[in-house]
Chain A
Amino acid sequence: MSSTGENHSNEKHSPLEQFEISPYAHFETGIGDLAFTNSSLSMVITVLVITLFLTLTVNTRSLIPSRLQLMSEMSYNFIAQLINDTVGDQGKKYFPFIFSIFMFVLIGNMVGMVPYSFTFTSHIIVTFALASVVFIGVTILGFWKHGFRYFALLAPAGLPFYMLPILIPIELISYLSRPISLSVRLFANMLAGHTLLKVFAGFVLPLGFAGVLPLAFIVALTGLEILIAFLQAYVFAILTCLYINDAIHLH
């Protein structure tokens, strides 16, 4: 019993181990320990990668862009097009915000795809904080643009008054569920994908020669994970656009 327990403590093959937080430095403050963890390091790397990528590739400013310059121009165009399609001309002001969120989530997911790295988007607290920024920002924007008329969002036009006591709570819950669905979608996708990769990686060696099959599956799954990483960043950005559109244009 004791030997198996010892074995178990030495073994490091849990598929969930990759999500463990390990602090590198401690900063004791009045509200608690603001530790610099592997998650923080991953975020710093992400921000550095985005900054370096966007500044260095566009630095040459050549009229005929190189491939790398084309990549950063395409990512700019992609979000500009997205805002134009969903919000319209009035949405141009919010481009920096949406572009920052899109790039942060996208590059964060991509950094997480590098072996031995840490995926910070697989933690619900990170995605929920991002979604909360969007949710609180959109709510403030709505009240700033429309004042108390923003409450009309909760009561659809042309509704008989006796339906209001039922529909207002439903609309309120629907409105409050936005940050939760936004954060859970990103978090669950990344968590499930990375766990699945590790689980199948655990099959490769014990199966011996037949381990080629899970190995091939992992290769395919990695491609799918990169697609999901992009898709989730895109979904996060497009939903932010839709919420901003709702706040600007009351129905």
Chain B
Amino acid sequence: MNNENKNISKLKEKIEDIESKISKKSKPTKENGAAFGFKISTELVAALVVGVGIGLIVDNFLGTKPFGLIIFFILGAFAGFLNIYRIMRHIENKQ
């Protein structure tokens, strides 16, 4: 009886060991530094592109030649910072 229990607990340990190995393996690959930097920079640039695009469209329609571009460029820069802030907060929450 005792021996059986021992065997079962041993088997349990083995299963847990294998399961922990499997779960470790199936975790997504960690990003390296370059990929992370690229992710951040695209977020910043994409927001600026959208900001400048909206600024040019606004100028075209309202005839406020430089001011739409200036205002939306600044707003786009802030939006880029907001994107990066969100990514960093997401990483902090994960840890």
Contacts and interface: CB of A to CB of B under 8 A. Distances in A.
B46 A180 contact: yes
A130 to B, nearest CB: 15
Q: Is the interface of A mostly helix, strand, loop or mixed?
A: helix
Q: Which of A169, A174, A189 has the most CB of B within 10 A?
A: A174
A104 interface: no
A174 B83 contact: yes
B interface, how many residues as a size bin?
20 to 34
B26 to A, nearest CB: 7
Contact of B79 (A173, A184, A238): A173
Contacts of B35: 228, 231, 235
Q: Is the interface of B mostly helix, strand, loop or mixed?
A: helix
Nearest to A242: B90
Interface stretch (B3-11, B13-21, B47-55, B59-67): B47-55
Interface of B: 26, 28-29, 31, 35, 38-39, 42-43, 45-47, 49-51, 54, 72, 75-76, 78-80, 82-83
27 contacts: A78-B26, A78-B28, A81-B26, A170-B79, A170-B82, A171-B82, A173-B51, A173-B54, A173-B75, A173-B76, A176-B50, A177-B43, A177-B47, A177-B49, A177-B50, A177-B79, A178-B46, A181-B45, A181-B46, A181-B83, A184-B42, A189-B38, A230-B29, A231-B29, A231-B31, A234-B28, A234-B29
Given A173-B51, A174-B47, A181-B43, 9 more contacts: A171-B79, A173-B47, A173-B76, A177-B43, A177-B50, A180-B50, A185-B38, A188-B38, A231-B31
